[in-house]
Amino acid sequence: MRFTSTIAAGIAAVGAVADGSNYLGFNSGATLADRSAKFKADFAAEFKTAAKLNGAPGKFNSARLYTNIQAYSQEDPIEAFDAAVETKTHLLLGVWASGTDNIDKEISALNKAIEKYGSELTDLIIGVNIGSEDLYRTSVTGLKNDPEGVGASPKTIVSFINDWRKAFKSSAIADVPVGHADTWDVWNNSTNKAVIDAVDFISVHEYPYYENDKGNSIENAGKLFDSAYQATLAAAGDKPVWVTETGWPYVGETWDEAVASVENAEKYWKEVGCKKLFNKTPTFWYTLRDSNPANSMKFAITDKLSTEPRFDLSCPKDSGDEKDKESKTSTSSEATKTHTSADHTSMVTSSSATATNGGSDNSEESSGNSSGSGSGSGNGSTSGSDNSSDAEASNTSDGAGAVATPSGDNGAGLLKISAAGALAALSALALF
């Protein structure tokens, strides 16, 4: 798929982090595929595998979380913090923002971890997302896909962002960029502009696989990604965009023209990852391992955390990635322009067993919306969950309840194209 010079120039201009570095990583939810909690050893195993993947076009030494809270606890720090300190893994933090009127427990959990580790932890924090696909779940498309889905309004997200800034204004992470993660079509909706104004960067989730009725075959996936990405950059204005969920399933049902297969997962990695994202903008791929048993679409690039991936991860010499691989690996804490993806999860605390609306490795929150973003992550606590894109709000319930909470991998879920989504796509294409 031809990558237009317009988009290439745009990414070159706004995609690089201030010091010339970018982050590579995967989404990581708070629970495993059987909905049991992840502990330090589980997170460490993921982080070690990611950093040693054979043939990888750079060092995947960063991880995106959906919550600060350990699965099935009230406000204990997630043990991903312990694993990150041990393995020196950079962290894009997540705060679960749906189905709650405050983020006090999220703040408390992180404060406890900082008190324990100090700079060993704070030096690894590269950013924080307040919420994941909350706006999607309250959108017309999100509610159509999942009428029981629980999200959050722009006003609520902005309020939580302000609460977070106030809580850490005098701390070691006071200057860490604050963002929000959502599907690409959400960012083009003017009703959500207050969130764009409030954040330092935007995290975008984008899944061409779910873009039914748009010619979503693997051959057209690069073009669909480009269109949505360009539309997100335009909506973001001067705010950096990070791609925090994207991927293609290696197994699962055929979605309109999109076929899930190992071969197509590899093609998508090379067409979108290698040519457009890796070492050019902070990117968190969906995903290293699947954690949502309810989702038939599976995205994991490796089996049982083997360092030998399902397909060849190397980038073609002419992709532009090989040249930048050494100079643009993750070492910076600055926000940069990129976009979104698929790691949602259900969050469960000791007092609540409700599942979140998401689908990712937390489990992950892979969602399917008209914009083509679906995430799949899961958290493990009602307050901190790994939701993947809100696009798949209908696939977010893990079966533990009707409340959207961060906990486990919803897998990249159901993206249903709506009239609003189609219009968003057309407006994106008009930019070329």
**Buried (b) or exposed (e) across 95-132, using 16+ Cβ within 10 A?**
bbbbbbeebebbbbbbbebbeebeeebbebbbbbbbbb
> Minimal CA–CA distance to 286: which of 138, 66, 135, 80?
66
C-alpha distances in angstroms, 336 versus 184, 197, 238, 326?
A: 16, 16, 10, 18
Question: Which position has the token pair 């924080």?
Answer: 128
336 CA to centre of own chain: 15
Residues, the chain = 432
How far is residue 340's CA from residue 132's CA, in Å, rounded to a whole number? Answer: 10
Question: Which position has the token pair 């393995």?
Answer: 87
Under 8 Å between Cβ of 210 and 252: no
Angle at 360 between CA 93 and CA 267, to 5 degrees: 110
Crossing angle (nearest 10°) for helices 80-87 and 104-117 = 30
How far is residue 104's CA from residue 166's CA, in Å, rounded to a whole number? Answer: 12
Residue 220's Cβ-count burial label (10 Å; 0-12, 13-18, 19+) is: middle
Which residues are catalytically annotated?
133, 245
